[in-house]
Amino acid sequence: MDTIFALASAVGKAGVSVVRVSGPLAWAAVERLGGPLPRPRMASVRRLISAGGDFLDEALILIFEDGASFTGERVAEFQVHGSVAVVQALLRELGEMPGLRGAEPGEFTRRALENERLDLSQVEALADLIDSETEQQRRQALRMLTGALGTRVGEWREKILRAVSLLEVTIDFVDEEVPVDVSDEVRDLLQFVSEDIRRELRGLESAERVRLGFEVAIVGPPNAGKSTLLNYLAGRDAAITSDVAGTTRDVIEVRMDIGGLAVTLLDTAGLRDSDDSVEQIGVARARERAGAADLRVHLVPEGDIPMLAVAEGDIVVTAKGDKAGQGVSGLTGLGVPELLSRIEARLLEEVQGAGLASRERHRVALAEGLTHLEQAQVLLNDGLDVYDVTSEEVRIALRALEQLVGHVDVEQVLDQIFSSFCIGK
């Protein structure tokens, strides 16, 4: 296997930059550049000297043994001064060593998967952790990174294998007297796993919203103060504000952290009938995006009614509270803290039942496994004559569930997953 290397810290000027090397020649690279090896997991300062005898930098060196590193291979890390020139000189020296090459995106993590240091769900969690912007995203990613989903699948696997073994021992002794009817125990095992999967599926959408974020649309008639409110919440002039009705023609988005949740606020065009063809397009887009949003905040002028139907959970507030004396105002901030609290409470309700699974790939695997488990339970009622078919249904269910953690062939999804990683990870 090739020995790979890459900058593992951010590109650009920094206090310290970390270059990671993984593979059978990782330690040899340290010896060639920095002399005698330090003890594994013991940091040591070394002067790095190029093959031509030039002094490259003074670095902190760490080495890790096979099976005790992130990738599961021999690993070395060079912690050098964070100069672009220093990093480039070190990478150039490593690239000129026989048997070493630059890593591809996600290759370190892919090796961790191949060496069973991580399962597939943990790889996805690592990508989510790197991308996390809010506290809730961080917590969810860390929960997955600890292997919680893999542990759950392991529990399901034990019960499913127990069910298969009971069915197959009955098949093996079909011509003999079997003193125990196994159908009740098998049914209980399959029912337990099925109920667990149903709970996971119910919580999948909430977990996915935590991972991807929520959309909250601010809707109302023209000149209701929607853009002013958005700018106040964003702390900057994200949207153009004007006394001229119909100023906002397109949907304007602002990403925010509300209660530890990633939220995209949508400032939509004022809802009204108009002869202006461009404004008509804006209103149509406003209605479409508002309908698809997770939550709508209706800004309603005092004495009026909402311009859109109010769905369950939507928030209705009086617009231009600085003039009305109540409601919310993006001009003065009146009622904004209370509005944010209501949005936070509403969205937190949505994630209370969040499960471990959080991706479409997870949903497909869970749904497929559940379908075959349910079919097996139906077949159980037909008796001993179809135990062989029942057993096969249970095995198919197990293979579907094991796709969650990559214990069966999932090569078709690996390239897509690792392509989202940066080089050096």
Same fold, 126-209+359-406 and 214-350: no
Is 194 known as a binding-site position? no
Q: How many Cα atoms occupy the beta-carbon half-sphere of 229 within 13 Å?
A: 32
Residues 6+ positions from 344 with CB-CB distance below 8 Å:
258, 259, 261
Superfamily name and number for 214-350: P-loop containing nucleotide triphosphate hydrolases (3.40.50.300)
Q: Are 318 and 165 in contact (CB under 8 A)?
A: no
Domain boundaries, the chain: 3-114, 126-209+359-406, 214-350
Confirm or deny that 371 is annotated as ligand binding: no
From 3.40.225.10, 1.10.290.10, 1.20.120.430, 3.30.1600.10, which CATH number describes the 126-209+359-406 domain?
1.20.120.430
Residue closest to 163 by CA, chosen among 401, 378, 380, 386 = 380
- 228 annotated ligand-binding residue: yes
247 appears as a binding residue in the annotation: yes
Find, among 19, 18, 25, 16, the residue nearest to 5 by Cα: 19
The reply to whether 99 sits in an annotated binding site is no
pLDDT at 247: 43
Strand partners, 20: 6, 77
Within 13 A of 209's CA, how many CA atoms are on the CB side? 24
- List the beta bridge partners of residue 267: 218, 252
- Residue 328's identity, in one-letter code, is V
For residue 117, say whether it is annotated as part of any ligand binding site. yes
Is position 249 annotated in a ligand binding site? no
Q: Please state the pTM of the whole predicted model.
A: 0.76
Cα distance between residue 91 and residue 85, in whole Å = 10
pLDDT value, residue 152: 93
Q: Is 248 annotated as a binding residue?
A: yes
- Token look-up 């330090």 returns 38
Question: What per-residue confidence (pLDDT) applies to 242?
Answer: 41
What six digits make up the tokens of 233? 């919440």
How do 3-7 and 16-22 pair as beta strands? Answer: antiparallel
Q: Are 380 and 391 in contact (CB under 8 A)?
A: no
The answer to whether the annotation marks 273 as part of a ligand binding site is no
The whole-number pLDDT of residue 412 equals 45
- Is 268 annotated as ligand-binding? yes
SS3 173: coil
Residue 176: its pLDDT value, please?
Answer: 52
Question: Do the beta carbons of residue 98 and residue 75 sit within 8 Å?
Answer: no
Phi, psi values for residue 258, rounded to 5°:
-120, 115
Yes or no: say if 35 and 55 are a contact pair by the CB < 8 Å rule.
Answer: no
Question: In sequence order, which residues have a C-beta less than 8 Å from that of residue 114 and are 6 or more positions away?
Answer: 72
- How would you write the pLDDT of the chain (425 residues) with one tens digit per residue? 899 999 999 888 999 999 999 999 999 999 999 999 999 999 999 999 999 999 999 999 999 999 999 999 999 999 999 999 999 999 999 999 999 999 999 999 999 999 989 999 999 999 999 889 999 999 999 999 999 999 999 999 999 988 888 887 776 555 555 545 678 888 999 999 999 999 999 999 899 999 999 999 988 888 778 888 888 887 766 544 444 344 444 678 888 899 999 999 888 766 655 555 555 666 677 778 888 889 999 988 888 888 788 888 999 999 888 887 888 888 888 998 999 999 999 999 988 888 899 999 999 999 999 999 999 999 887 766 677 888 899 999 999 998 888 765 545 445 655 565 666 66
CB-CB neighbours of 205 under 10 Å: 16
Q: Which two tokens stand for residue 69?
A: 């590193």
Q: Which of 45, 169, 33 is nearest to 92 (CA)?
A: 33
| Residue 417: predicted pLDDT | 53
- The fold adopted by the segment(s) 3-114 is Gyrase A; domain 2 (3.30.1360)
Is 185 within any annotated ligand binding site? no
Is 83 labelled a binding residue?
no
Gyration radius from the chain CA atoms: 29
Q: Annotation-wise, does 270 bind a ligand?
A: yes
Rounded-to-integer distance, Cα 181 and Cα 381, Å: 12
Residue 68 assigned as binding residue? no
* Residue 269 known to bind ligand: yes
List, as one string, the DSSP characters of 207-222.
HHHHHH-EEEEEE-ST
